[in-house]
Amino acid sequence: MFPWLLLVFVFGLNFTLWGLIGLLRLIDDRFVRRHDRPDAAPGPRLLRDPDAPRTGPIGLEDVAVLMPAHNESVVLAASITAVQRLVPAGAVHVVSDGSTDDTVAIARRCGARVLATPGNLGKAGALQYAMRRFGLVRRYRAVLLLDADTQLDDGYFDAALPLFDDPAVVAVAGCARTHWSPDTMSHTGQLIVAHRERIYTMTQRLLKYGQTWRSLNATHIVPGFASLYRTEILPRIEMNPAGLVIEDFNMTFEVYRRRLGRVGFRLGAAATTQDPGTFRDYLKQTTRWSLGLWQTVRRHGLRPNLFSVSLGLTLLELVSSSLLFLLLPLLFVVLVVPELAPAAASLPGLSTVYATVHSYVRLETLAVGVLLPDYLTTLLVAALQRRPKYLLFLPFFVLLRVVDAAITLYTLPRAFVARSTGRWVSPTRRPPEPVDGPSTLDTAS
């Protein structure tokens, strides 16, 4: 097997195709039609007179922040404080979903509007309950769904809101960055966070940026950690269907299936979120995310349109690359053992397996086709994020990709039999870095 065939499995035509489309989008945005398109040049979105009619461009006074929280006392205050620096007073709404800690008291002390659900409804149920009780669809033109462990970058709204100047854009996907705090994390936690940063960096630059181009718009996920929706479309979305473990895949599929509009995305609309710091939390969260994807695919199916073509290609390569990475340790053992212990090559059975595998795949093929691209990915991400410490974890990222592959294939059949309540248990949170200074907009609403 030639190394380039393995590259197809490791990176895939999907990344190549959308990466090239993303390059075309970059050229189009910056050089071809920069001054003619509403999504070409982000800029600050200032507050207007609150008594003025709510027409025209969506401004900060038109945005509600809705933060679902389940036992988030460790991180909640910092996240509320961070977003209050960017939006008018009274715009932050918190819904506590069956919390047993002091989540509600913390939210009230921070000045947020607060609701508590009648029992544990799950994240989607809590969002649905809060939107109705707070009257967000009636009172606001857009709503930001913000996880309780997530802090918006200062330029989030400056990058995101101008995308709504295009009336066809009905949702804006946030750009994820991971909370990197090596002083408060174990070595395992640092490895997990660095692995997630690699995923965020590559998928958002090579997939989502191309998938959300105005001319070809078909992304399979508007992540629920920090994303915006026009409120006018929310009544037309079935936000909390029975049996799904998470809501954000389903909400994205609903946008495309019901032909409600397009999804916008900019790298500048960024927010920092906490990824799991323990291997156990990582397994639970990754399993939940993977199961949620397959459940949503099961619910909506595939149809003859661009969204389904893009989704089908993504799923096909997800399965094929997962199979490759799951076989990788076995291939490595079969090829390495006879090299290290030549006598083992003559053992019954092993010699036949070795000869068969060796006729298709060799160690140098795995090195060039799998390990080298993975290492180059780490070098690129470490350079882009300016975190050279990521390089210390080079030998271990492949192992986590094997774990991810096993989870993908494990959850695929489960999606057709498992029924989920959507109830959640947040990963163990780390104390966030404090956000200093009062909100600059508290007196402007």
- Tens of pLDDT, residue by residue, the chain (445 residues): 454 455 555 556 777 788 889 889 988 877 765 544 444 445 555 555 555 556 689 999 999 999 999 999 999 999 999 999 999 989 999 999 999 999 999 999 999 999 999 988 999 999 999 999 999 999 999 999 999 999 999 999 999 999 999 999 999 999 999 999 898 899 999 999 999 999 999 999 988 999 999 888 999 999 999 999 999 999 999 999 999 999 999 999 999 999 999 999 999 999 999 999 999 999 999 999 999 999 999 999 999 999 999 999 899 889 988 998 999 898 888 888 777 777 766 667 777 787 777 777 788 777 777 888 889 899 999 999 999 999 999 989 999 999 999 999 999 999 998 888 778 777 888 888 654 433 334 333 3
In this structure, are 298 and 373 located in the same domain?
no
Tell whether 434 is covered by a domain: no
- Of 241, 275, 304, at which residue does a domain stop? 304
| Cβ 191 vs Cβ 387: under 8 Å | no
- pLDDT value of position 9: 52
- pLDDT value of position 361: 79
In this structure, are 95 and 224 located in the same domain?
yes
How far, rounded to the nearest angstrom, does the alpha carbon of residue 301 sit from its chain's CA centroid?
Answer: 21
- Of 284, 304, 324, at which residue does a domain stop? 304
In this structure, are 318 and 297 located in the same domain?
no
Scanning the structure block, which residue is given the tokens 């932050």? 92
- pLDDT value of position 50: 52
Domain range enclosing 295? 13-46+56-304
Tally the domains of the chain: 2
Amino acid making up residue 314: T
In this structure, are 187 and 264 located in the same domain?
yes
The length of the chain in residues reads 445
- pLDDT value of position 7: 52
In this structure, are 317 and 300 located in the same domain?
no
- 286's CB contacts (< 8 A; 6+ apart) are 403, 404, 407
| Cβ 128 vs Cβ 101: under 8 Å | no
Cα–Cα distance measured from residue 221 to residue 224, given in angstroms and rounded to the nearest whole number: 9
* The pair of three-digit structure tokens given for residue 227, joined into one six-digit string: 């994303």
Q: Could you give the C-alpha distances from 402 to 13, 222, 328, 399, 422, in angstroms and in order?
A: 20, 25, 8, 5, 27
- pLDDT value of position 44: 56
Cα–Cα distance measured from residue 80 to residue 146, given in angstroms and rounded to the nearest whole number: 10
In this structure, are 119 and 25 located in the same domain?
yes
In this structure, are 268 and 286 located in the same domain?
yes
Scanning the structure block, which residue is given the tokens 């929280």? 69
In this structure, are 174 and 323 located in the same domain?
no
Tell whether 173 is covered by a domain: yes
**Torsion angle of C-alpha atoms 335, 337, 342, 345, degrees rounded to 10:** -70
Q: What is the pTM of this model?
A: 0.88
b/e string for 370-406 if b means 16 or more Cβ within 10 A?
bbeebbebbeebbeebeeeebeebeeebbebbbbbbb
One-character DSSP codes across 8-30 = HHHTHHHHHHHHHHHHHHHHIII
Q: Hey, is 324 helix, strand or coil? A: helix
- pLDDT value of position 129: 96
Neighbouring CB atoms inside 10 A of 356's CB total 11
Q: Could you give the C-alpha distances from 254 to 16, 222, 259, 421, in angstroms and in order?
A: 27, 11, 8, 19
Tell whether 111 is covered by a domain: yes
Closest to 276 in 3D by CA, of 427, 430, 78: 427
Amino acid making up residue 246: I
- 29's CB contacts (< 8 A; 6+ apart) are 37, 39, 40
In this structure, are 369 and 226 located in the same domain?
no
In this structure, are 148 and 289 located in the same domain?
yes
Strand order in the sheet with 142-146: 113-116, 92-96, 63-69, 142-146, 226-230, 169-178, 262-273, 151-152
Tell whether 350 is covered by a domain: yes
Q: Could you give the C-alpha distances from 203 to 9, 19, 253, in angstroms and in order?
A: 15, 9, 18
Tell whether 369 is covered by a domain: yes
Tell whether 419 is covered by a domain: no
In this structure, are 231 and 127 located in the same domain?
yes
Tell whether 65 is covered by a domain: yes
Handedness of CA 208, 210, 213, 218 (dihedral sign): negative
- pLDDT value of position 46: 54
- CATH number for 296: 3.90.550.10
In this structure, are 230 and 270 located in the same domain?
yes
Tell whether 217 is covered by a domain: yes
- Of 251, 270, 304, at which residue does a domain stop? 304
